[in-house]
Chains A and B, each alone.
Chain A
Amino acid sequence: MADLSTNPATVRPDPSLGGLFVAALKRELLLSLRRKSELVNPLIFFLMVVTLFPLGVSPEPGFLAQLAPGVLWVAALLATLLSMDSLFRSDFDDGSLEQLLLSPQPLFVVVLAKVLAHWMLTGLVLTLVAPLIAVMLFLPAEGMPGLMLSLLLGTPTLSLVGAIGAALTVGLRKGGVLIALLVLPLYIPVLIFGTGAVQAAVTGLPLGGYLALLGALLALGATLAPLAIGAALRISVSG
């Protein structure tokens, strides 16, 4: 053992927290890529809402341009919320979660990796697709940077907060509705500042304030949410 740990040439994976984080991230991404149908669900939802909206309200460009920031943000928020329920569900069902909780490694590292993987496959994808869909809603070109930046800063917070709800409800058979009830109030600040940023960008006002607030929410979420998620998972498994 002694010479193993001192010899960097051995194939032993990095036992540090960084190594664990990378291993967890890889595992989550691999699992998601092997379950492709769930992968495209949030994206399809996002697309459907945005394409159906003009049909239901009015296809008039000026009117749609006015609604676009709100519609895009609400659609992104609900798409994230819909994908939340499955975050810990399969781990809970097959006993992987028990093994995770019995690991001597700190729980928040794995939890943070899981949330990051979730965000990369929902929030990040939505952020990249958003400009394309914004064009369908006649959002002026000046609004695009605001839209991209606010989604980039806002959607990770949605994933982090949603994961707390998912962790609390994973022990219940029907947790879906409960997650929405628990989490939606906490999503509202992100929604307000996110749409605010897009509207400011459209009218040519400075974005800095909105982005700073979204960034502050993200910093708060990234530091505190993993601990809350870990505690919630212990409660759910204990029950």
Chain B
Amino acid sequence: MKVLVPVKRVIDYNVKVRVKSDQSGVDLANVKMSMNPFDEISVEEAVRMKEAGTATEIVVVSIGPQQAQETIRTALAMGADRGILIKTDEIVEPLAVAKVLAKVVEEETPDMVILGKQAIDDDANQTGQMLGALLGWPQGTFASEVKSDGGKVHVTREIDGGLQTVALDGPAIVTTDLRLNEPRYASLPNIMKAKKKPIDMKAPEDYGVDLSPRLTIVKVTEPPVRQAGEKVEDVSTLVGKLKTAGAV
């Protein structure tokens, strides 16, 4: 089975984001960028499928600036076979991303697309489901386990209060949640090898999709700052304060 894994370059999850003083957005200058953590889980899952013999080829695709090539290289070093970079410096909204990915799917004809359930920058949690609707494919979102058997894909999903398993008639969309796996670190030899793996350079125009945004940012602000409270001396003082505040 051929697997397509879209990946996004985002601010590293350990970096404290700073809102620009003109409220136009978040400061991305000189900030450490990494692969979206959920996308790392997607790449890892695809690589494990290949190691288990269920996947034959893993294609990684990213829509973003030139530097997103590094994100693709990371995926290649983890074990993906080749990459596609669709280069744009504009903000591309999930709907437009899904439309471009639908075109990539037409060209590449994968049997499964594995995406992160959300990107930790815009927290939209939309692209996988939108791609499923555009392609008419079924989806297993928020996956904590993925198994293929006899043409069906069984996905165990993390839902509020527990787990749910669905069976999908492939080809199918899977979006990954935290418990699915623990992504590997690429080894140095694999990082070296990844430098020789091919990355196709494309432009959004190659896919004939209108990327114009539907949303206009009015402002981006800091959330209300939480003031530090007080230090208490001991447990009984703490209990007293909590009782007064009506918290216990």
Q: Do A and B come from one complex?
A: no
